[in-house]
Amino acid sequence: MTVRDDLEPALAAYLAERAQWVDATLERLLPPEQRPPGRLYEAMRYSLTAPGKRIRPVLLLAAVDAVGGDAHNALPAAAALEMIHAYSLIHDDLPAMDDDDTRRGQPSNHKVYGEAMAILAGDGLLTAAFEILASPELGAIGNAETRLAVLFDLAHAAGPAGMVGGQAADILAEEQDEIDLPELEFIHTHKTGALIAAALRMGARLGGGTADQIDALTRYGRHIGLAFQIADDILDLVTETDGGEHSKATYPSLMGLAAAREHADSLVDRALAELEPFGAYAEPLRALARYIVARTH
């Protein structure tokens, strides 16, 4: 899931400001000067502090806004979520997995630090995320019940029933000749969708949302997560100039371009419908949802 730079100015400013808060929090939680072994912390920081839009933590903070909470209190949780995302990229890039030598134009973690240190940097970021959420000093405010529930949201979304399960399904799908639409949807809703939905759920919970609000924003997250993926597939297809073969199944390749656009539109409509009770507080989430499909037309 990627966000392009052609955002409307107000949304772009909102996203950029919150991304900056997240960056500052990451710097505070994982500063350059750490205990030994320094090489491990360097490898963790290499991927964690690489420039990025911080879309998942920003969604978490926008969910806090949507329920009328104070986003600053949720920054440690937003940082923990970004650590989980960073770990997943490090492990996904490994030679045994997707075998990517670069990530956003930079050498991938294992190209710089070696495979062993890259595996450990991922393990370290994954574990540190839960350490932060459980820590009285580092963790987000809120009572223990809330912090435990937020931690469960994240662990459940990141683990075998979520992101790890989706990545495993993706690896297994590569061994098959072809996959069908339900399999593709399983991969995306788990590999990327679960963590995006968790971002909204965690934010709604930390912001003091009601059970109904938490569930509504979780559904919003599921819808936009999948819509983003379909939109990415469409953009990859229409900006493709070399006419090369598409070995990997995508939404347009499996359901056709027009139907894929319609599917993305309908998911965004459903996401927007979930936001109706939230009023003006949810304006950034609305703008984000609209932006997803605008770029596919």
Sites of contact with a copy of itself (CB under 8 A): 34-37, 39-41, 44, 91, 94, 96-97, 114-117, 119-120, 122-124, 126-128, 130-131, 134-136, 143-145, 147-149, 151-152, 155-156, 158-161, 164-165, 167-169, 171-172, 186
Residue ranges in 32-180 assigned as alpha helix (H): 38-48, 55-66, 75-93, 109-113, 115-134, 144-158, 163-173
Nearer to a copy of itself, 172 or 273 (CB): 172
Hey, what are 34's tokens? 């750490």
Shortest distance in whole angstroms from residue 145 CB to a copy of itself? 5
Shortest distance in whole angstroms from residue 261 CB to a copy of itself? 29
Shortest distance in whole angstroms from residue 44 CB to a copy of itself? 7
Shortest distance in whole angstroms from residue 39 CB to a copy of itself? 6
Shortest distance in whole angstroms from residue 43 CB to a copy of itself? 8
Nearer to a copy of itself, 131 or 283 (CB): 131
Shortest distance in whole angstroms from residue 95 CB to a copy of itself? 8
Distance CA 99, CA 93 (A): 5
Distance CA 84, CA 125 (A): 7
Distance CA 147, CA 44 (A): 24
For 210, other C-beta atoms within 10 Å of its C-beta total 10
Distance CA 107, CA 101 (A): 6
Distance CA 66, CA 275 (A): 9
Nearer to a copy of itself, 68 or 159 (CB): 159
Nearer to a copy of itself, 44 or 74 (CB): 44
3-state class (DSSP) for residue 296: coil
Distance CA 175, CA 169 (A): 10
Nearer to a copy of itself, 190 or 263 (CB): 190
Nearer to a copy of itself, 152 or 281 (CB): 152
First to last CA, the chain: 18
Residues 6+ apart with CB under 8 A from 241: none
Nearer to a copy of itself, 79 or 151 (CB): 151
Shortest distance in whole angstroms from residue 165 CB to a copy of itself? 6
β-strands 106-107, 102-103: how paired?
antiparallel
